[in-house]
């Protein structure tokens, strides 16, 4: 649904009010996304003590210490976006990114909650390491944060779950030709080991996030390309889709079978293939508990050969054919795709440059957390995806799947006041100079979008205003699922 066609409902007297007649903050708005009321409605918000305490007509808002006027000019008030796939490289690889710089980029991009990935050094695959990572991140985080723990040590999984893990991440991929970012300490190539880990995660009630791949097949394909000398960015991209994407599809097939046997809450990452969507639709049609993640790169970047020629190793982590990107947009719109998460994967530019001649030696991935909201809102304006669907995929669905709804991902009374204000009329051109990630570059240099975040609010604190990040390190809070089951 294009922005100009959004149907507005005047909330009038249909409101929930706090007992207080004086609050910290009121946001005046005539366009607010509220799932409880079916979409975009005309409603203002009152915030006190970091919580939403009133929702209704502007005339009925209590008095406030501060008032934000978010009316008119295409402004939209929505739940803060949640990114469950951020590589902040901390600890161990902080020359690429650290929790402060990654959190700063998130705030600039309208993200109020980040959940980072465990391919760090040491990986958080034991309770002791997980607790150390939590403590370190708390001193640096500007927005709220959670951690996806490494789910490769079955006996540690229940202990880490009790300590508040957001979910457990497992890589089916181990790098060939390089030793990072898919390192052996976080990857599993043995299916019996993977089966044990799935059973352990299933008992916790948490989600198991898996990067799909068949390692043995991938190694054969990679060796073929290396032996032929096809190792530059072009050869690497072609290897990703070789033999009808057999390596990824075989990995997904295994995951579907293991999920059916173990009952684990499976979350398949990086889904971007037509055949993969068919397999997942079939499994879900038979009642399997499978959710999926789409990365913005598959929609806006690595689905174009022209882009790969232009940006080469700076853009590459994977490649998907344009026709598969079309199927992925279809999956986003029809509900097969569950969430969008960035796979924000920064590396120092000097580490990427070798990929022009040998991409198998260059780490895969690119920054994305600061850019993706503008790209998605631009797609809303172009009529590619409805506004409500975009918000659900980037906030509400994420919170529901990972067990933090309605505290997060909601503007209901009682929810945390995590709010993003966007201007859907605002045009913005991406530049290298504005990049806050430590990697220092964007693959969207010179690209103009219409629709952009103008304010990020975390538990009632303004952390970004008109592009300036004013939040302070250490103000972000650790977030864990509201409820799950841990069986001993």
Q: Does residue 483 form part of some domain?
A: no
The count of structural domains within the chain is: 2
Residues 130, 43 share a domain: no
- Give me the sign of the Cα torsion angle 111, 267, 382, 30: negative
Q: At which residue do the structure tokens 């972000």 appear?
A: 476
Q: What is the pLDDT of residue 485?
A: 55
Check whether residue 204 and residue 289 sit in a common domain: yes
Does position 17 have pLDDT exceeding 50, yes or no?
no
Instruction: Report whether 140 contacts 100 (CB < 8 A).
Output: yes
User: Which CATH number does the domain housing residue 11 bear?
Assistant: 2.30.40.10
Question: Model pTM greater than 0.85?
Answer: yes
In a domain? residue 153: yes
Provide the Cα torsion 160, 162, 163, 166; round to 10°: 80
> 201 with 339, same domain?
yes
d(CA 119, CA 148): 10
Based on the fold, state whether residues 225 and 127 are members of the same structural domain. Answer: yes
Joined tokens for residue 166: 């957001």
Predicted confidence band at 486 (pLDDT cuts at 50, 70, 90)?
A: low
Domain for residue 407, yes or no?
A: no
Same domain, 73 and 86: no
First to last CA, the chain: 48
Tens digits of per-residue pLDDT, 232-246? 999 999 999 999 999
**CA contacts within 13 A on the Cβ side of 423:** 14
308 and 454 together in one domain: no
The enclosing H or E element of 310 equals: helix 305-311
Is residue 408 one of the residues assigned to a domain? no
448 & 310 share domain: no
Radius of gyration of the chain (CA): 22
Greatest Cα pair distance, the chain, in angstroms, is: 73
| Residue 74 shares a structural domain with residue 101 | no
Q: Which of 401, 432, 455 is the last residue of a domain?
A: 401
On whether residue 199 sits in a domain, the answer given is yes
Same-domain pairing of 66 and 95? no
Whether 189 and 212 map to the same domain: the answer is yes
Structural domain including 382 reads 80-401
Specify whether 312 is located in the same domain as 200: yes
Would residue 454 count as lying in a domain? yes
How many whole angstroms separate alpha carbon 162 and alpha carbon 174? 28
Domain with 323 in it: what CATH number? 3.20.20.140
Question: Which neighbouring-strand residues pair with 41?
Answer: 32
Q: Same structural domain for residues 178 and 163?
A: yes
Q: What is the pLDDT of residues 47-102, one digit of tens each?
A: 999 999 999 999 989 999 999 999 988 999 999 999 999 999 999 999 999 999 99
């Amino acid at each position: 649904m294009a922005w100009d066609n959004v149907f507005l409902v005047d909330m009038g007297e249909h409101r929930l009010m706090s007992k207080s007649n004086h609050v910290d903050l009121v946001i005046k708005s005539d366009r607010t996304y509220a799932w409880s009321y079916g979409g975009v409605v005309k409603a203002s918000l009152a915030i006190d003590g970091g919580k939403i305490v009133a929702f209704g007509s502007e005339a009925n808002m209590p008095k406030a210490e501060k008032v934000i006027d978010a009316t008119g000019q295409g402004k939209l008030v929505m739940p803060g976006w949640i990114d469950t796939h951020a590589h902040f490289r901390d600890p161990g690889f902080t020359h690429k990114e650290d929790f402060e710089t990654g959190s700063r980029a998130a705030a600039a991009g309208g993200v109020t909650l980040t959940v980072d990935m465990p391919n760090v050094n040491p990986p958080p695959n034991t309770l002791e390491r997980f607790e150390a990572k939590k403590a370190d991140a708390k001193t640096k985080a500007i927005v709220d944060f959670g951690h996806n723990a490494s789910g490769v040590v079955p006996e540690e999984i229940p202990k880490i779950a009790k300590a508040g893990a957001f979910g457990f991440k497992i890589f089916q991929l181990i790098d060939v030709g390089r030793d990072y970012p898919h390192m052996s300490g976080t990857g599993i190539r043995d299916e019996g080991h993977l089966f044990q880990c799935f059973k352990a995660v299933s008992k916790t009630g948490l989600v198991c996030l898996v990067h799909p791949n068949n390692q043995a097949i991938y190694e054969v394909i990679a060796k073929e390309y290396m032996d032929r000398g096809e190792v530059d960015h072009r050869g690497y991209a072609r290897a990703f889709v070789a033999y009808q994407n057999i390596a990824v599809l075989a990995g997904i097939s295994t995951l579907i079978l293991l999920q059916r046997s173990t009952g684990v809450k499976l979350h398949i990452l990086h889904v971007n293939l037509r055949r993969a969507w068919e397999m997942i639709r079939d499994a879900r049609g038979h009642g399997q508990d499978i959710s999926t993640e789409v990365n913005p790169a598959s929609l806006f970047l690595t689905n174009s050969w022209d882009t790969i020629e232009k940006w080469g190793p700076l853009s590459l982590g994977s490649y998907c054919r344009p026709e598969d990107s079309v199927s992925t947009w279809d999956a986003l719109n029809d509900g097969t795709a569950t969430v969008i998460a960035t796979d924000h994967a920064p590396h120092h530019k000097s580490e990427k440059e070798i990929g022009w001649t040998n991409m198998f030696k260059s780490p895969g991935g690119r920054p994305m957390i600061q850019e993706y909201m503008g790209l998605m809102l631009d797609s809303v304006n172009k009529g590619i995806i409805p506004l409500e669907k975009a918000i659900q995929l980037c906030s509400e669905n994420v919170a529901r799947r990972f067990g933090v709804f309605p505290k997060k991902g909601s503007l209901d009374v009682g929810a945390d006041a995590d709010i993003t204000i966007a201007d859907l009329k605002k045009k913005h051109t991406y530049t290298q100079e504005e990049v806050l990630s430590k990697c220092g570059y964007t693959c969207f240099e010179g690209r103009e979008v219409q629709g952009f975040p103008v304010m990020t609010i975390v538990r009632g604190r303004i952390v970004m205003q008109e592009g300036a990040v004013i939040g302070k390190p250490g103000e972000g809070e650790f977030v864990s699922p509201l409820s799950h089951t841990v069986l001993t």
